[in-house]
Amino acid sequence: MDHNDNHPTKSRIELYEKDYKKRRHIVEWLIGIVLTAAVCYSSYVYFRTKNAVDNTYDSNTHVQIEKGEFDGKKKFAVLLMGTDTGALDRKEKIGNTDTIIVAVVNPAKKRYTLMSVPRDTMAEMVGADQFQIKKINAAYPIGGAQMAMDSVSTLINVPIKYYALVNMKGIMRLIRYVGGINVKPTLSFEYGGYIFKKDQLTHMGGGGALAYSRMRYDDPEGDYGRQKRQRQVITTLIKKAVSLNTLTQLDSVLTSISGNVKTNLPFDALRQIAFNYRDSTKNVKNDYLHGHNATIDGESYQVQSTKELQRISDYLRSELGLKLKPISNNETYQNRRNEHNGFDFANPENQVYNIYENNQDGNEQEEGDN
């Protein structure tokens, strides 16, 4: 008897070929469903986030975004402004921008700079129908974001074409989103029902962080002390957001604060900045314009010496890779006239500062990309 008589006439592979094909088709079908669902969800998240961000986009200050402008290698500057409307007990619908910060991102050095401009800084309202000297925080309510950018840009001779205006309610929501922040207060004080102890690590939610960064009158350094606390909150928030890998949940982040932000950076530019400049958040440089107390037409102002304006201009232009230039604008013109008539920037006492006619010889702010 041939023992091979009971052997199958086909190999195992041939015998079960139909079953293998069926199983393969089922696997391929399942993979297809998963991929389709992933694509659909990604599209849903993209368009949901885009729609939310589009509501924040300010088309009135539209700027052309060049290809590769936010590729993670180019340096850029953004004017950050904060209003205190609609948060906690504030009910004003249009307010001054009491927080004004020039943020410069320098990927080559893996750092960003936050340079505060005191709210009471004397500045020309660039773009106004007629010559006006006001406090810099009045530029936004007078002429919108464009006047604010132009006025700050001309003041320090640094080109600025992007801005982001954040309502304090947006900051509160973002802080809550990341689970709060831990901050060591720079001084002890009580404000808005919150108690802060100097150098005692304090966990702050949105309301606490806002109270901490809002107080001004009980700070020995006045508005300068408040600026320090504002920068402290912002830098701590950035570190917390990056450490939690919040950028992978960009849709939820942007959607949560969309009703409290205005910017002329379109959606795709924000996405590129978020994902391409992550390494630039590793280090931060904090600075601010050091002004002098002065009285102009009976009101208290901060006037910036030409030396101080030049110092800030040189640093920020260097961070942006721009050539250093002697600063020449209406403020330096007013300084010359006042110093000629006895104003002394070396005197720490409050002095009377006079406003003279418009400077017709001031240099125009340069145009172009950063």
Sign, Cα dihedral of 340, 346, 352, 356? positive
Q: Which amino acid is at 270?
A: L
Q: What pLDDT shows up at residue 368?
A: 40
pLDDT score of 44: 41
Backbone torsions φ then ψ of 44, nearest 5 degrees: -60, -45
Which tokens in the block code for residue 53? 């961000």
The angle, 0 to 180 degrees and rounded to 10, between the axes of the packed helices 17-54 and 250-257 is 30
Q: Is the pTM of this model over 0.85?
A: no
Question: 11: which 2 tokens?
Answer: 């190999």
| Cα-based distances in Å from 23 to 33, 81, 249 | 15, 59, 36
- 222-250 tens-digit pLDDT: 888 888 898 888 888 877 776 666 555 55
Say which residue, 260 or 61, is predicted with more confidence: 61
How high is the pLDDT of residue 57? 75
| Integer Cα distance of 251 and 271 in angstroms | 10
For residues 105 and 188, give the distance between their C-alpha atoms in angstroms, rounded to a whole number: 32
pLDDT band at 16; cut points 50, 70, 90: low
In this structure, are strands 76-83 and 162-167 parallel, antiparallel, or unpaired? parallel
Q: Is the pLDDT of residue 33 over 80?
A: no
Query: What pLDDT shows up at residue 367?
Result: 39
* Higher pLDDT among residues 67 and 13, named by residue: 67
- pLDDT for 86 equals 55
CB burial of residue 250 (10 Å; 0-12, 13-18, 19+): middle
Is the pLDDT at 74 greater than 90? The verdict is yes
Higher confidence at residue 247 or residue 69?
Answer: 69
Query: Quick check: 9 pLDDT over 80?
Result: no
Beginning with the edge strand found earlier in the chain, give each strand of the sheet holding 299-303 in spatial order: 299-303, 292-296, 351-352
Q: What is the pLDDT of residue 143?
A: 94
Query: What pairing do the DSSP bridges indicate for beta strands 162-167 and 261-263?
Result: antiparallel
- Taken in order of first residue, the domains within the chain and their CATH numbers are 55-352 (3.40.630.190)
Q: Supply the mean pLDDT for the chain.
A: 81
Residue 60 is predicted with a pLDDT of 85
Lowest mean pLDDT among 52-61, 113-122, 133-142: 52-61
Q: How many CA atoms lie within 13 A of 25 on its CB side?
A: 6
Q: How far, in Å, CA of 32 to CA of 27, rounded?
A: 8
Task: Give bridge partners of residue 351 from the DSSP assignment.
Answer: 294
